[in-house]
Amino acid sequence: MLKTAVYGFVRFAFDLLGGGPWWCGYVVLSIGAVSGLLGILYAIAENDLKRLLAYSSIENIGIIFLGLGTSLILPAHHVPVWAGLALVGALLHAFNHALFKSLLFLGAGAISSAARTVNLEELGSLQRRMPFSGTTLLVACCSIGGLPVPTG
């Protein structure tokens, strides 16, 4: 559902406004930076697993809007190729976020059902009790951190 706002913004800013004035890019960039910073600061201070994931989503939407703001600014500086790359990067991050965040929320639900809590301070030795879910969540956590996952 979060990506609906990103899609609406992209359609409005690029299709309807044709990129808009250059200063709009700085506004989007600033809002994305504030959202990313506040989202991750709230996530760091959270003990509830599901709330932590929700705050992390706010941070990731901020990162996506950093890319969108950059793609709005760069055409004014006569570098349309870099603007296109910034737009593609933002959209790829939106797709990546949709995949790994849904996997993380699914894992949080499995943990909630098995452990009867989502308080991070009360969870322990889940990998031993839930090996498949733990491995799946480890892959998703590597994705959220931008780490490559070794294959084969």
Helix (H, G, I), strand (E, B) or coil at 33: helix
Q: What is the pTM of this model?
A: 0.85
**Per-residue pLDDT tens over the stretch 33-80:** 999 999 999 999 999 988 999 999 999 999 999 999 999 999 988 999
**Sign of the CA dihedral 34, 37, 40, 45?**
negative
Q: Alpha-carbon torsion 57, 42, 35, 12, what sign? A: positive
pLDDT value, residue 66: 95
So what's the pLDDT on residue 34? 97
pLDDT band at 32 (very low <50, low <70, confident <90, very high): very high
Beta bridge partners of 119: 48
When the pLDDT of each residue in the chain is averaged and rounded to a whole number, the result is 86
Residue 48 φ/ψ, nearest 5 degrees: -85, 125
Q: Does residue 152 surpass a pLDDT of 80?
A: no
Q: Is the pLDDT of residue 147 over 70?
A: no
128: enclosing H helix or E strand: helix 126-129
d(CA 56, CA 104): 11
Residues 26, 4: Cα–Cα separation, whole Å: 22
Is residue 106 over pLDDT 70? yes
